[in-house]
Amino acid sequence: MRHYLNLRILVSEFYEFKTVGPYGIEWAAEQYKGPLSHYISTALLGSLQALNLFWLFAIFRIAYRFLFHNALADDRSDYEDDEELEAEKREERELQEREREELRRLEAPAQTQTPAPAPAPTPEIMVNGAKVEAPKVKARASGVRGKARAARRKA
């Protein structure tokens, strides 16, 4: 029904467009029914009809395949999806291989591992060329538990 009505409107554009209502461009009266508007409206309605016919064809093709061939396969292209899937699988395999190598390296015997570096020496404090020991600093109590401990010590 839609296709019949669309075609009927398109045909009436050619026969009745100039006869119904005032034909011409009058800016003051806001009437813009001229040759340009005729071409534009015909092109837009024609493209809408073409789109409707395309979808009708696609629906009929799917229905025909389902009824006569019992095929429910999607005939859109999977080419890009296959490439993306392969790339994801390849990245996953590479990640797993790197994890295995890391585990092998960590589980290697201790003699093959390099020793940990020695801790850095503590800095010396010098006053006028004489060595001075650093003052001992008590750790301050912080937080709720730390304040409670400090209060118990004072009591």
Q: Is the dihedral of CA 126, 130, 134, 135 positive or negative?
A: negative
- pLDDT the model gives residue 78: 57
72 or 121: which leads in pLDDT: 121
Could you tell me the pLDDT band of residue 132, with boundaries at 50, 70 and 90?
Answer: confident
Percent of the chain with pLDDT over 70: 77
- 59, pLDDT greater than 80: yes
Rounded Cα–Cα distance for residues 33 and 21 (Å): 9
Mean pLDDT computed over every residue of the chain: 80
Domain ranges within the chain, ordered by starting residue: 2-69, 79-108
Q: Output the DSSP codes for 9-40.
A: HHHHHHHHTTTSS--EEETTTTEEESHHHHHH
What is the average pLDDT across 110-131? Answer: 75
pLDDT tier, 56 (very low <50, low <70, confident <90, very high otherwise) = very high
* pLDDT above 80: residue 45: yes
What pLDDT is recorded for position 123? 78
* Residue 136 predicted with pLDDT over 80: no
Straight-line distance from the first to the last Cα atom of the chain, in angstroms, rounded to the nearest whole number: 95
What global pTM score does this model have? 0.43
pLDDT of residue 77: 58
Is the model more confident about 51 or about 66? 51
Q: What is the dihedral of CA 53, 17, 38, 35, to 10 degrees?
A: 160
Query: Looking at residue 27, what DSSP letter applies?
Result: T
